[in-house]
Amino acid sequence: MLFTKVHGLGNDFILVNACLGERFPDDYATLAKEMCHRHFGIGADGLVLLLDSGVADVRMRIINSDGSEAEMCGNAIRCVAKYLYEHNIVRKEEIKIETLAGVIVPQVIQKNGVVEAIKVDMGEPRLEREQIPMLGAAGRVINEPLELDGQRFYITAVSMGNPHCVIFVEDLNAVPLQLIGPRMEQHPAFPKKTNVEFVQVINPQEVRMLVWERGAGPTMACGTGACAVAVAGVLNGLTEKKVTVHLPGGSLEIEWAEDGKLYMTGPAVEVFHGEYTVYKS
């Protein structure tokens, strides 16, 4: 099976293009777990499958390294757009990509004929509890207390198609991510589990963030997470609608625009191509 290894700010993926006739087993969950394994496989945070679409240029499926399927992935979709454009598979400056979170539209930004960045129309955030079914009553979840093993956290819940739990902290260096991340991910308040973002505000235009991803653990960056953080910052009166989000792997520019949509701009990198032999472990 031919694949391409890609990353967006160190959030890395194995991309398999089924539109090119590439064949792969039906059991995506096992395949993702095996291919993404850092020691027994290629190593990645997720497996990205490209398939034919009836409504867009291409369909993207994202399978986390634990085998679970996510609705959307911001870093992966930038990588997919660059891959489709540079390999002349979809040579359009605006590419329509079908995901479980709807059709997402990345735009290829070039400088002197070279793809410099990808700006993605990530759509509108979803804030109603009905869409993030948790904590009971109607309304939004903005800076609300949530108990976790006797500790109280103030959370803001934002869905970018996939669920995010944003927690603002005074000092990011003091956050025990490995300890709280997996427990918050699996907190019963989140029936579909959740991605968890810890955020320190530097100033109204800049934040630092750490992420524990649902189904993947700590990653170097999360595009949907950065969008959720931008929304949470505005809702909590902490940041402006245009914000730079600094992550362990680099920075993303996020804008919550007047049309209500989130726009995410950042890099995408193709690392290498390879051939994977499917085996039974």
Ligand X SMILES: N[C@@H](CCC[C@H](N)C(=O)O)C(=O)O
Residues that constitute the known binding site for substrate: 11, 64, 74-75, 162, 195, 213-214, 223-224
Residues numbered 42 to 61 that lie near ligand X (CB under 6 A) are none
Q: Which of 223, 233, 266, 267 binds ligand X (CB under 6 A)?
A: 223
Which two three-digit tokens encode residue 79? 């990588």
Alpha helices by DSSP H, the chain: 28-36, 74-86, 177-185, 223-235
State how far the Cα of 213 lies from the Cα of 188, in Å rounded to an integer. Answer: 16
227 as an active site residue: the answer is no
Of 36, 79, 165, 222, catalytic:
222
In contact, 167 and 153? CB cutoff 8 Å: yes
Q: According to the binding rule CB under 6 A, does residue 215 interact with ligand X?
A: yes
The reply to whether 74 sits near ligand X by the rule CB under 6 A is yes
Among 34, 224, 267, 268, binds ligand X (CB under 6 A): 224
* Sequence ranges of the binding site: 11, 64, 74-75, 162, 195, 213-214, 223-224
CA-CA distance, 136 to 144, in Å (whole number)?
12
Q: Residue from 34, 185, 197, 213 that binds ligand X (CB under 6 A)?
A: 213
- Residue 222 binds ligand X, judged by CB under 6 A: yes
Beta-carbon count within 10 A of 66 CB: 15
Q: Are 160 and 228 in contact (CB under 8 A)?
A: yes
Q: How far is the CB of 84 from ligand X (least distance, A)?
A: 17
222 is catalytic: yes
**Burial class of residue 280, CB neighbours in 10 A (0-12, 13-18, 19+):** exposed
- Residue ranges that bind ligand X, judged by CB under 6 A: 11, 62, 64, 70, 73-75, 162, 195, 213-216, 219, 222-225
Just list the catalytic residues. 73, 222
